[in-house]
Amino acid sequence: MKKVILDKFAEVFGDNQGAKAYFAPGRVNLIGDHTDYNGGHVFPCALTLGTYGVARKREDNKLRFYSMNFDSLGVIESSLEELNPGEGENWTAYPKGVIWAFGEKGMQVTKGMDLLLFGNIPNGSGLSSSASVEVLTGFILRDFFGFDVTNQDLALIGQYSENKYNLVNCGIMDQFAIAMGKKDHAIFLDTATLSFEYAPVKLEGAKVVIACSNKKRGLVDSKYNERRSQSEAALKELQKVVDIETLGDLDEETFEKHQDAIADTVCRKRAKHAVSENQRTIQAVEALKQNDIELFGKLMSESHVSLRDDYETSCDETDLLVAEAWKNPGVLGSRITGGGFGGCTVSIVKDKAVEQFKEQIGKVYLEKVGYAADFYVVDIGDGPCVL
């Protein structure tokens, strides 16, 4: 892949003298969705799928961007003076947002760059192609300018840029999982404190299979920000009767006792998911440590029900993928993953059932939805690197 992207860079920008190649992974969240901005726990891992980049520092303030995934757009030119939060016109808003965010944090980017990207994460799939681009851009800027930032800082800068430049109120999970990825390990992260531990993912006799619904979704114009504000409204009402900082501070028993303090029934459902999902995530990591893959899978499936019914971030397409997965005796657990409203499901599938899983679910999905789903048997990989 390195040769392919370096050759393409030379074709697009005239030559590849002085250019370097980089990679940042995508991520999948095994369990713990919409808990990250509610002060709960998440359990994501970095993938070997991700975003490849070739970059070269310029001597002027020009920014030239090219994506092999959006080649019809050609080279998009801009400059360091043209960084406007909220512009969101095309994919370049993500790298531009990170350049802007470094400046906001007191680290001025003083030279422009030529940047070529190629991603093998399905666009709009919920596997964090945007966060992958953010972390990759931050990693390149650190390499170019010697900024004194850790990988954890790169995650926080990526989140800041998405919140303030792209106007998506995302939590920290995506950028953190990508920046801090470790091969064959998932990250058990407390989003309230950013304390974390690496947990080995040993699925003996089973694989992680991602099914992409190919229903495109946009985070900003979806209901993502609305879900966040509903959760915040529920928290404010709960804080009148119980001493908590976040919904993640509650166990299910305490929530049951005080839930009537939330007047709006929809906001109450949102809070119920945030609390129960956090507890499920804690239990799931413990199950994995005990090598109880069956319980881990069961908790994944319970997570989907909660996301479908209480948080309402699933959709007909992902519900169909999960319902069909549950029918397969080789499936230990299946759920929607990521922001929702389309995107992907993640399933734990016994080795001997993987091919049948892809074939049967793919057939039913095509018949009922009218277009195909894509399937990826994935490996858990490391964080960003120079190629």
DSSP string, 119-146: E-SPTTSSS-HHHHHHHHHHHHHHHHH-
Beta-carbon-side half-sphere exposure of residue 101 (alpha carbons within 13 Å): 29
pLDDT per position as a tens digit, 76-126: 999 999 999 998 778 999 999 999 999 999 999 999 999 999 999 876 666
pLDDT per position as a tens digit, 233-268: 999 999 999 999 999 999 999 999 999 999 999 999
Token pair recorded at residue 285 = 């990591």
DSSP string, 183-202: TTEEEEEETTTTEEEEEE--
pLDDT top residue among 26 and 224: 26
CB 239 within 8 A of CB 231: no
Helix/strand/coil for 343: coil
Question: What's the CA gap between 12 and 10, in Å, rounded?
Answer: 6
Q: How confident is the model at residue 147 (pLDDT cuts 50, 70, 90)?
A: very high
Q: What single DSSP character describes residue 245?
A: S
Instruction: Give the sheet arrangement for strand 206-212, strand by strand.
Output: 331-337, 344-350, 206-212, 374-378
Residue 276's CB is within 10 A of a number of other CB atoms, namely 22
pLDDT at 126: 64
Q: How confident is the model at residue 220 (pLDDT cuts 50, 70, 90)?
A: very low
Q: Where are the beta strands (DSSP E) in 213-285?
A: none
Cα angle vertex 192, ends 187, 197, to 5°? 25
Q: Where are the domains of the chain?
A: 2-200
Question: What's the CA gap between 258 and 16, in Å, rounded?
Answer: 62
174 is catalytic: yes
Give the global pTM: 0.89
CB 131 within 8 A of CB 162: yes
Question: What's the CA gap between 68 and 367, in Å, rounded?
Answer: 31
Question: What's the CA gap between 69 and 137, in Å, rounded?
Answer: 17
Would you say how long the chain is, in residues? 387
Catalytic annotation, pick one of 33, 114, 174, 249: 174
Distances (CA, A) of 321 to 29, 58, 209: 17, 47, 12
Q: Exposed (0-12), middle (13-18) or buried (19+): which is 163, by Cβ within 10 Å? A: middle
Instruction: Give the closest residue to 96 by CA, choosing from 42, 161, 35.
Output: 161
pLDDT per position as a tens digit, 309-362: 999 999 999 999 999 999 999 999 999 988 788 889 999 999 999 999 999 999
Q: Which CATH number fits domain 2-200: 3.30.365.10, 3.30.360.10, 3.40.50.150, 3.30.230.10?
A: 3.30.230.10
pLDDT of 219 over the 80 cut: no
Q: Residue 74 — left, alpha, or beta (φ > 0 → left; ψ -120 to 50 → alpha)?
A: left
| Residue 238 dihedral angles phi and psi, to the nearest 5° | -65, -35
